[in-house]
């Protein structure tokens, strides 16, 4: 089966111990895709480990934050003619099998943007703190009202995009609250979006980037 030109981007901040396994899992399960690691000012061996397993690596001069790091991936995809793109986190918590499902939706142009939801049709809250659950619930309700479609995971970092969406976000991708703001941009730009349920895997090494003030 032939596939459209595909890029998978992994924004990564100090993911030594995780990034190599994440890249290898993607290459095993989505062998037709190129893998780009956006090394966001890491102070560990993230860059070296990613290069060792064959990823393309862009190293930012300092920690620019998740929004700017992801937009760097969109700009790379737009400039190099990729038809579809997926964005995963570099810590290995997103399933490569789910990646194929997300990519298939945008590859066939069923939707412009496909988002992996941790909470759609699932009872597991993955240990999310009470205050974070309150925040997610508020954003879910607000975005559902704005878009007139049910949004269950407004902060998901697991998503896929067709060429139309790549070009849009290469020009403008929000930096302050990137995931929920991107949902609004999709809606206002006339792009179609769909959530599908995904599995969230346990982190093997280190701590979540969400605990770091700059992220």
Predicted confidence (pLDDT) at residue 86 exceeds the cutoff of 60 = yes
Spatial CB neighbours of 22, under 8 Å, sequence gap ≥ 6: 10, 15, 88, 90, 91, 92
Backbone phi, then psi, for 133, in 5-degree steps? -65, -40
Cα separation, 183 vs 13, whole angstroms? 24
Q: Cα 162 to chain center, whole Å?
A: 14
Cα separation, 121 vs 112, whole angstroms? 22
Give the tens place of pLDDT for each residue, 186-199.
999 999 999 999 98
Predicted confidence (pLDDT) at residue 211 exceeds the cutoff of 50 = no
Q: What is the pLDDT of residue 65?
A: 96
Assess contact for 136 and 143: CB atoms under 8 A: no
Predicted confidence (pLDDT) at residue 200 exceeds the cutoff of 90 = no
Determine whether 100 is exposed, middle or buried from the number of CB atoms within 10 Å of its CB (0-12, 13-18, 19+): middle
Half-sphere exposure for 25 (CA within 13 Å, toward CB): 20
Q: What is the pLDDT of residue 210?
A: 39
Per the DSSP assignment, residues forming a β-bridge with 7 are: 34, 85
Backbone phi, then psi, for 186, in 5-degree steps? -55, -50
70-75 — which CB contacts under 8 Å span 24+ positions? 70/9, 70/11, 70/38, 70/169, 70/173, 70/178, 71/169, 71/170, 71/173, 71/175, 72/38, 73/7, 73/9, 73/11, 73/36, 73/38, 74/9, 74/161, 74/166, 74/169, 74/170, 74/173, 75/170
- 126 pLDDT tier (thresholds 50, 70, 90): low
Cα separation, 121 vs 136, whole angstroms? 16
Cα separation, 45 vs 129, whole angstroms? 30
Beta strands 84-87 and 6-12, pairing class: parallel
Determine what percent of the chain is predicted with pLDDT higher than 70.
89
- 96 pLDDT tier (thresholds 50, 70, 90): confident
Backbone phi, then psi, for 12, in 5-degree steps? -140, 130
Q: What is the pLDDT of residue 12?
A: 96
Q: What is the pLDDT of residue 109?
A: 86
Q: What is the pLDDT of residue 212?
A: 36
């Amino acid at each position: 089966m032939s596939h459209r030109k595909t890029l998978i981007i992994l924004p990564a901040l100090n993911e030594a111990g995780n990034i190599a396994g994440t890249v290898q899992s993607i290459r095993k399960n989505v062998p037709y895709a190129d893998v780009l690691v956006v090394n966001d000012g890491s102070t560990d061996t993230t860059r070296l480990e990613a290069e060792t397993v064959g990823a393309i690596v862009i190293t930012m001069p300092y920690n620019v934050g998740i929004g700017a790091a992801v937009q760097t991936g969109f700009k790379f995809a737009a400039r190099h003619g990729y038809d579809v793109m997926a964005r995963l986190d570099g810590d290995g918590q997103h399933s490569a099998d789910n990646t194929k499902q997300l990519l298939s939706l945008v590859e066939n142009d069923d939707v412009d943007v496909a988002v992996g939801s941790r909470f759609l049709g699932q009872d597991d809250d993955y240990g999310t703190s009470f205050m974070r659950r309150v925040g997610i619930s508020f954003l879910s309700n607000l975005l559902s009202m704005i878009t007139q479609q049910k949004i269950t995971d407004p902060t998901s970092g697991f998503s896929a995009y067709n060429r139309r969406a790549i070009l849009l976000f290469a020009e403008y991708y929000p930096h302050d609250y990137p995931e929920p703001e991107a949902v609004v941009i999709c809606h206002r730009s006339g792009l179609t979006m769909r959530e599908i349920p995904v599995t969230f895997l346990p982190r093997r090494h280190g701590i979540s980037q969400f605990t770091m003030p700059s992220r």
